Amino acid sequence: MNPLIPPGARADRLDTPTGRLRVLSAGPETRDRPPLLLVHGGGSDNAAISWHGLMGPLAERRTVLAPDLPGFGGSMDVPPVGGADALADVVAEVMDSLELTRAIVGGVSMGGDVALNLALRHPDRVAGLVLIAPGGLIPLFRNRATHFWAWAGTRVPDPLLLPLVRLSGRFTRSAVRAVVKDPGTLPGPVIDEFVRESRRPGGGLAYTRYNQASIGRHRMLNDLSERVAEISAPTLLLHGEDDPIVDPAGSRRAAERMPDARLVEIPDCGHWAQSERHDLVLERILDFLERVDPSPAP
């Protein structure tokens, strides 16, 4: 089966210091305005899954780029690098290899965590942020008991952990449907690709490494809630009100603390707002892009 490619996008391979990564691209190749650089989520996600319905419409007026991070999708053969800080440096490498000085950076879930780290570690590279149900903004995973067992799961030695990761691939279809409010909103090809990725050799390993770097025994190690005030880039946060994975409270706190941020909470929506409420998310992103970087006069 051929890999999923979003309508209107093309796939290329890009050499970076970390490895040869797959990068999806769409839209006009123009240097007169910053491109939109999109970072996918975790689990068995990749750029084509996260941004399947958005790349084409967003690319009508600007370049849109979406890399597969090490250990995900078309970059599965590149060894995972760990947490969101290391992944942010990989995104900076992608920008260097593409000779991009700045970009408007979008991220969903884990990708939102990566985008926040990029804005903190490489602030001059980020012209704006679009964060969909971003990770990296909660001090504790759900409650103390759940957090402890999540941490304990990340401490299992690889000889036991990796077979469990492979076994979990058998239940991916049910798991995907559980993170959204209405499973009927998810395109079939997107679900099929997510399942296929979870069953590939090495599928889920990179996300395991991210979780190992993110979940501490008593707290989240990647919680940036106290640092988001340092981010001056204009920011749009989009979060489903019924998200069962990432608590919307983290996005609320971030929107209050960031100098130039707006939060849109989306009713009747779970974790994958870009798929569940595609039209609304697209509209809000386009409005934000026009505010941050207006279209040139005809």
Cα(97)–Cα(15) distance, integer angstroms: 7
Give the pLDDT of residue 100: 95
Q: Is residue 215 one of the residues assigned to a domain?
A: yes
Question: Can you give the residue range of the structural domain that contains 106?
Answer: 10-291
CATH number of residue 241's parent domain: 3.40.50.1820
Buried b (16+ CB within 10 A) or exposed e, 158-170: eeebeeebbebbe
- pLDDT tens digits, 102-156: 999 999 999 999 999 999 999 999 999 999 999 999 999 989 999 999 999 898 8
Characterize the bridge pairing of strands 103-108 and 235-240. Answer: unpaired
Q: How many domains does the chain have?
A: 1
Q: What is the DSSP string of the chain?
A: -PPP--TT-EEEEEE-SS-EEEEEEES---SSSPPEEEE--STT--HHHHTTTTHHHHTTSS-EEEEPPTTSGGGTTSPP--SHHHHHHHHHHHHHHTT-S-EEEEEETHHHHHHHHHHHHSGGGEEEEEEES-SS--SSSSSHHHHHHHHHHHTS-HHHHHHHHHHHGGGHHHHHHHTSS-GGGS-HHHHHHHHHHHTSTTTTHHHHHHHHHHB-SSSBTT--TTTGGG--S-EEEEEETT-SSS-HHHHHHHHHHSTTEEEEEETT--S-HHHHTHHHHHHHHHHHHHHHSPPPP-
Q: Is residue 296 one of the residues assigned to a domain?
A: no
pTM above 0.85, yes or no: yes
Give the pLDDT of residue 168: 64
**Sheet of 235-240: strands edge to edge?**
10-15, 20-26, 64-67, 36-39, 103-108, 126-132, 235-240, 261-266
Cα(210)–Cα(120) distance, integer angstroms: 18
Q: Is residue 109 one of the residues assigned to a domain?
A: yes
Q: Is residue 33 one of the residues assigned to a domain?
A: yes
- pLDDT tens digits, 18-42: 999 999 999 988 777 899 999 999 9
Give the pLDDT of residue 30: 76
Q: Which residue's entry shows tokens 């947490």?
A: 83
Q: Is residue 22 one of the residues assigned to a domain?
A: yes
Cα(237)–Cα(134) distance, integer angstroms: 8
Q: Is residue 3 one of the residues assigned to a domain?
A: no
Give the pLDDT of residue 178: 80
Q: Which residue's entry shows tokens 């890399």?
A: 67
Q: Is residue 101 one of the residues assigned to a domain?
A: yes
Q: Is residue 261 one of the residues assigned to a domain?
A: yes
